[in-house]
Amino acid sequence: MFRDQPQTADVEEIERLVRLTGVFSRDEVAIARELIEENLAKGAEASGYHFLFADGPDGLEGYTCFGPIEGTVRRWELYWIAVDPHAHRSGLGKRLEVASEAAVRALGGVMMIAEASPFSASVYSAGDDSARSRPSLRSRHKISSPAAMTMAPPSQTWGAGNSPNRK
């Protein structure tokens, strides 16, 4: 079970976790912090940033941040997924991903977009629970089965005002 209510301590914990992964730039770390701060200040609905947290015995072990894409109907984006390197290979990232998909469905979403690289984005149905339609984030852009997902070039999935630093 994951926690979905942010706490003040999550600001520092998210920054620590995102830095610890070693894959995000200084600017990206600042954005991760900014999104949780905005959620704490305005709430999930007003900020557009929803979170799931995986707490462990030594602090935050993983989290996701996702939100509705402005200018679309029932389309959401997975902005962040980060897991403590000590929890890699434990399935935590997959469990967070699946729980985020379920949260989006519960909020009325039908599609979630996850950026897979700077050059491509992957799109999949938030309503399909089959394992084949939920490949790992790293491999989503490689899947070509129309039943699994549909691909759209970044120019069709990203536009002014719908990236995580849109505010």
The per-residue pLDDT for range 60-97, each reduced to its tens digit, is 999 999 999 999 999 999 999 999 999 999 999 999 99
Task: Look up the domain containing 22 and give its range.
Answer: 10-157
- Ordered DSSP codes for 106-162: HTT--EEEEEEETTEEEEEETT---GGG---TTTGGG---TTTEEEE-HHHH--TT-
Name the percent of the chain lying above pLDDT 70.
Answer: 69
**Does the residue 164 lie in any domain?**
no
pLDDT of residue 115: 77
**Does the residue 166 lie in any domain?**
no
**Does the residue 1 lie in any domain?**
no
Please compute the mean of the pLDDT values over residues 116-138 and round it to a whole number: 41
The sign one gets for the Cα dihedral 46, 48, 49, 50 is positive
The residue type found at 24 is F
Q: What is the pairing mode between strands 149-152 and 120-125?
A: antiparallel
pLDDT of residue 116: 59
**Does the residue 123 lie in any domain?**
yes
Is pLDDT above 80 for 39? Answer: yes
Is pLDDT above 80 for 37? Answer: yes
**Does the residue 96 lie in any domain?**
yes
**Does the residue 5 lie in any domain?**
no
Query: How many domains does the chain fold into?
Result: 1
Task: Say which CATH number the domain at 85 has.
Answer: 3.40.630.30
Please compute the mean of the pLDDT values over residues 31-47 and round it to a whole number: 97
**Does the residue 20 lie in any domain?**
yes
**Does the residue 4 lie in any domain?**
no
